[in-house]
Structure 1
Amino acid sequence: MKMERRLKALSLASMLGMFLILVMGALVTKTESGRGCGDDWPLCNGKFVPAYTIESLIEYSHRFVVGVVGIILLATMILVFLYSKRKDAKWYVGGAMFFTLLQAVLGAMAVVWPQSSAILALHFGFSLMSFAFTLLLYLVFTRFGDAMYKGDGTRLTRGVRFSIWAVLVYSYVVVYLGAFVRHTEAMGGCIGWPLCNGQVIPEMTGPTSIAFIHRVGAAILGLALLTLFLFVRGQARSDSGIYRSVRLSLILVFLQILSGGFVTLAIGYDIYLLASLLHAVLVSCLFGILCYSAIASRHTRG
């Protein structure tokens, strides 16, 4: 029992740490601090403690947090493999470690060798996967763990279960498009919201096409989750974990869409950075909840 409490505490620390890494990574991108440490890694401008500049402070703080969270996650993984009997916990902590190392390597490569926007956009996606795995790991040691492992008696049709996984995969594509928008600095391609440059369908060239495709992708995701919720509501009990998670996903996706509009309208104002970070926070929560829904759906066979 004592060890289970330790595992729960460490998994919670890992999850919160990964969430912080996500937010700090978005901050690095939005403040254009990725080159704050020059071409050096793991040192910053050739020093262990870099000279104080805003860019170097943001970038080096991000690196430091990644290192600390990596150590916490390593300790969590060791204890999970030694003391936990849950196979799913071992898969989740292993997945979290894999994507944490992958994003660290990709981040180092981005510093030493210039990368394309398409590759840089993967960095946020890998961080998001790390967060999702640590979220699932933490939930294993809460009352939601049994629902993921054994189910709660809910019965869903094969089509609905497939749809949950399809929406999860599609949401990752939309997230990648959003990260690609950030790294190509295409957010300004669509001025105004909900219209793009005052048009329902703008001229599809350059940054405008990138920003507009992301908007359309987000709208489709919202409609897909609304449809999914209606099907789940017709098959699952209102007190079941799968129903509550899909309902929460629906709420989060519409908040995410509204926050995207907030980001667009905030361009050129001091509040733009805050709006962008809010956007990143909401999409992280949305993806994490969708992952829980997908895992829980495996034990809802009709």
Structure 2
Amino acid sequence: MHKSLKIYSVITSIGMLIVLMQGALVTKTGSGEGCGATWPLCFGEVIPTSPAIETIIEYSHRIVSGMLGFMIIILAIWTWRKIGHLKETKFMAIMAIFFIVFQGLLGAGAVVFGQSEAILALHFGISAISLATVVLLTVLVFEDGKSRVPAPKVTKRFRYFIYFVITYTYAVIYTGALVKHTNATLACSGFPLCNGMLFPGFIGPIGVHFLHRLAGISVFILLLVLLIIVIKHYRHEPTVFWGTIIAFIFVLGQVISGVAVIFTAAALVNAMFHALIISLLFSTLAYLTMIISRKPH
């Protein structure tokens, strides 16, 4: 059922991952001003002539982001028409369009009005939500037509704990984005100590970096607690069990990649991988949030 829509939704989800990685590449290589302060033109040209490498990186990100924006709008309309009878579809479709448009406006604003750290951090945070909405629409497409969809029976306390975990994780995304956009990635050398200190304080770039470390460790602890709860009480709910397992693998990978960023002097591959994993973690938590919010069978 919906074979073409399934293929299209998967391609769009993969495309969103590519856009996210391109954004991380733009940030890591300092290519945000690769087209000057003009948008949608690049140095006043439709296609830049004799572009520098920074211009190529920024311009290709603009092109791919624009294409994905139209693809997401098409996906939202298509899912609304084909699987609009599913409870979550219309909400996710509206959110997908809203956040991809908002993300584009933030990117354009950052170019035209200057590379504000707060705006750039918000841009990355919104991209994580955009990815999650597209992924959830894709999940809904694959769920349609099944006799039973995942609707696990969980306690109200567990449901609220999931809500807290995804909200806190989203806040941590912003601390990581601020680390990147305030050039604080290497402000703390070594791990677990920061410049040889257990507590370096919260002032300046060192404080931004150290705050993100604490926030990241807290997310790991929260996911570990969640995993223990699920193994103890919800092993009989396969979607909750495996969703939590996948989320914990992602948070473990996030911690490892974060430490690798420090010890490899923020090598490009490690930094981009770090940005990718946190977005995949957020999408996984968004899926868990969606299924536990359903009325149990």
What TM-score comes out, normalization by structure 2 length? Answer: 0.94
- 1:59 is matched with which residue? 58
- Count of aligned residue pairs for this structure pair: 295
- 2:106 is matched with which residue? 106
- 2:123 is matched with which residue? 123
Alignment partners' CA distance in 1, 2:91 and 2:114: 33
1:244 to 227, 242, 245: 242
- Post-superposition shift, 1:182? 0.3
Kindly provide the CA deviation profile for residues 103-150 of structure 1, in whole angstroms up to 9, marking residues without a partner as x: 100110111101421221000011110000001111112259969x85
- 1:25 is matched with which residue? 23
Contact 1:238-1:244 at 8 Å conserved across structures: no
Contact 2:77-2:93 at 8 Å conserved across structures: no
Contact 1:80-1:89 at 8 Å conserved across structures: yes
1:46 to 1:86, Cα distance in 2 relative to 1, 3 A: same
- 2:72 is matched with which residue? 73
- Post-superposition shift, 1:301? 5.8
2:281 to 270, 281, 286: 286
AA of the residue aligned to 1:247: I
- Post-superposition shift, 1:60? 0.5
Alignment partners' CA distance in 2, 1:133 and 1:263: 28
Kindly provide the CA deviation profile for residues 70-95 of structure 1, in whole angstroms up to 9, marking residues without a partner as x: 12112222222222232422222221
Equivalences for residues 253-292 of structure 1 within 5 A: 253-267=251-265, 272-292=267-287
- 2:4 is matched with which residue? 6
How high is the sequence identity, in percent, across the aligned residues? Answer: 38
AA of the residue aligned to 1:217: A
- 1:159 is matched with which residue? 157
Alignment partners' CA distance in 2, 1:121 and 1:275: 19
1:146 to 1:136, Cα distance in 2 relative to 1, 3 A: farther
AA of the residue aligned to 2:99: F
Alignment partners' CA distance in 2, 1:54 and 1:31: 10
Alignment partners' CA distance in 1, 2:236 and 2:220: 21
AA of the residue aligned to 1:212: F
CA root-mean-square deviation: 2.0
* 1:41 aligned onto 2:39: yes
Kindly provide the CA deviation profile for residues 27-69 of structure 1, in whole angstroms up to 9, marking residues without a partner as x: 0001000000001100101111113210110000000001111
Alignment partners' CA distance in 2, 1:249 and 1:119: 28
1:300 to 1:123, Cα distance in 2 relative to 1, 3 A: same
AA of the residue aligned to 1:114: G
Alignment partners' CA distance in 2, 1:158 and 1:234: 16
Contact 1:28-1:59 at 8 Å conserved across structures: yes
Contact 2:80-2:93 at 8 Å conserved across structures: no
1:168 to 1:146, Cα distance in 2 relative to 1, 3 A: farther
- Post-superposition shift, 1:204? 3.3
Alignment partners' CA distance in 1, 2:58 and 2:219: 32
What TM-score comes out, normalization by structure 1 length? Answer: 0.92
Instruction: Give 3-state SS (helix, strand or coil) of 2:183's partner.
Output: coil
Alignment partners' CA distance in 1, 2:223 and 2:236: 17
AA of the residue aligned to 2:53: I
Q: Kindly report structure 1 stretches of 4+ aligned residues shifted beyond 4 Å.
A: 143-147
Instruction: Give 3-state SS (helix, strand or coil) of 1:132's partner.
Output: helix
Kindly provide the CA deviation profile for residues 248-288 of structure 1, in whole angstroms up to 9, marking residues without a partner as x: 111111110110000111117xxx11110110111111111
AA of the residue aligned to 1:91: F
- Post-superposition shift, 1:237? 2.7
Equivalences for residues 180-195 of structure 1 within 5 A: 180-195=178-193
Instruction: Give 3-state SS (helix, strand or coil) of 2:198's partner.
Output: coil
AA of the residue aligned to 1:175: I
Q: Which runs of 5+ in 1 are unaligned?
A: none
- Post-superposition shift, 1:239? 5.7
Alignment partners' CA distance in 2, 1:157 and 1:276: 38
